[in-house]
Amino acid sequence: MANVTVIGAQWGDEGKGKIVDWLASRADAVVRFQGGHNAGHTLVVGNQTYKLSLLPSGIVRGTLSIIGNGVVLDPWALKDEFARLEAQGVAINRDNFAIADNCPLILPVHRELDGLREAAAGSGKIGTTGRGIGPAYEDKVGRRAIRVCDLGHLDSLTAQLDRLCAHHDALRAGFGEAPVDRAGLVAALAEIAPFVLQFAEPVWQRLNKVKRAGARILFEGAQGVLLDVDHGTYPFVTSSNTVSGTAASGSGLGPGATGFVLGIVKAYTTRVGAGPFPTELEDEVGQRLGEKGHEFGTVTGRKRRCGWFDAVLVRQSCAISGVTGVALTKLDVLDGFDRVRICTGYRLGGRVLDYFPSQASEQAEVEPIYEEIEGWRETTAGARSWADLPAQAIKYITRVQELIECPVALVSTSPERDDTILVRDPFAD
């Protein structure tokens, strides 16, 4: 049976939480492989709603859930998330949860630097969540990060702390801030260490055992391909690679383990924060999409920008990330529209483009070329088979998969786990 890698194929917030939860009930392990607690997945199970940021979505089902080495881990945020979930009756222990011991930590200095930079950026704001993700990744590649495994050896980290503080003290001085409180940092790490270390292990070993046993692994991506630090709308991106290939490097398994790549795609488009958005609607239609779709960020609570489906961007995401099939979510939000639109290309300075350019000023200038399709009055909410869908909704889905050059494997018609139309089973490939 195949493993499955789930990624967002837009700017995140595509409804990955519900799809991952649906798949996690059939998986033997769920792995987060990049990002941090800037991600937000909402799961609706019966009358309970769970909001996750760091913990893999499988934890709600009791499935083995692993935070891989590609994640940057805020241990204090993790502890808070534990408390929230345990208060909802979720049991978390060493049998169903593990953290890669080589996972880098997000420290208070990272959160502080994130805030200082964004406050000073003026019109150059990136729109970060302010949670220290970017600075933590910078320290990782700068070889000065404190990692999970270091929490058990704080007395021998003098050289590492020297490098870390030298870097941050210089940056803080530029913002008129005092140097890092080194003693306070070490004390805070010593206090949180026992909580984190109880779950720390070389997870690559555990995952390889799971793989050799023939069990099914679900790799859970965060954010979306359009926020990838290489392939996204740079510089308005996250600080990690969000494409499917990162599942290998961010978990300790080889690229052959990624299996079926499922790209999650909304039936329209949303984005949180700054950056280009060719199909954005700043009118009553955009307002209607936002209200019907309850478009507010799980982590930040920020209102999402809304627009029509952009087939050019999704086709590009699918190609870059090797998507095998897509899961189309929130189809029900389009119920009741007389006409719906799909972006099929762009105009830029007299040229017609069938791709999204890499250069920031060109990204901001492209104008969408639309194809208009008749809408449907009937409801799709709660549909669980093709027979439950209006004919025009089926035509819309068919046209989407033609334009993105990738088949639709799943259709989600509400936040409820069982309101899902299965076209192609990712685990059966």
- Closest Cα partner for 275 from 322, 313, 315, 227? 227
Beta bridge partners of 270: 306
Token couple for 32: 């987060």
In degrees and rounded to multiples of 5, residue 190 shows phi and psi of: -65, -35
* Cα 298 to Cα 14, 38, 43, 115, 328, distances in angstroms: 11, 9, 11, 20, 19
Task: Report how far residue 241's alpha carbon sits from residue 206's, in angstroms, rounded to the nearest whole number.
Answer: 24
| Chain centroid, CA 374 distance in Å | 32
Instruction: Please confirm, yes or no, whether 13 is among the known catalytic residues.
Output: yes
Q: Which of 13, 74, 139, 419 is catalytic?
A: 13
Alpha helices (H) in 250-300, listed in sequence order: 284-292
Query: Exposed, middle or buried, 387 (CB in 10 Å: 0-12/13-18/19+)?
Result: exposed
For residue 255, the SS3 value is helix
Task: Identify residue 116 by its one-letter amino acid code.
Answer: L
- Strand pairing of 269-271 and 305-307? antiparallel
Question: Beta-carbon neighbour count of residue 76 at 10 Å?
Answer: 19
- Closest Cα partner for 279 from 190, 383, 367? 367
Beta bridge partners of 200: 99
For residue 326, the SS3 value is strand
Contact between residue 325 and residue 411 where contact means Cβ atoms under 8 Å apart:
no
Q: Which residue's structure tokens are 């499922």? A: 262
The angle subtended at Cα 20 by Cα 16 and Cα 22, nearest 5°, is 120
Instruction: Please confirm, yes or no, whether 310 is among the known catalytic residues.
Output: no
Q: Which of 37, 41, 167, 168 is catalytic?
A: 41
Structure letter (DSSP) for residue 354? S
Task: Report how far residue 371's alpha carbon sits from residue 374's, in angstroms, rounded to the nearest whole number.
Answer: 10
Q: Which residues are catalytic?
A: 13, 41
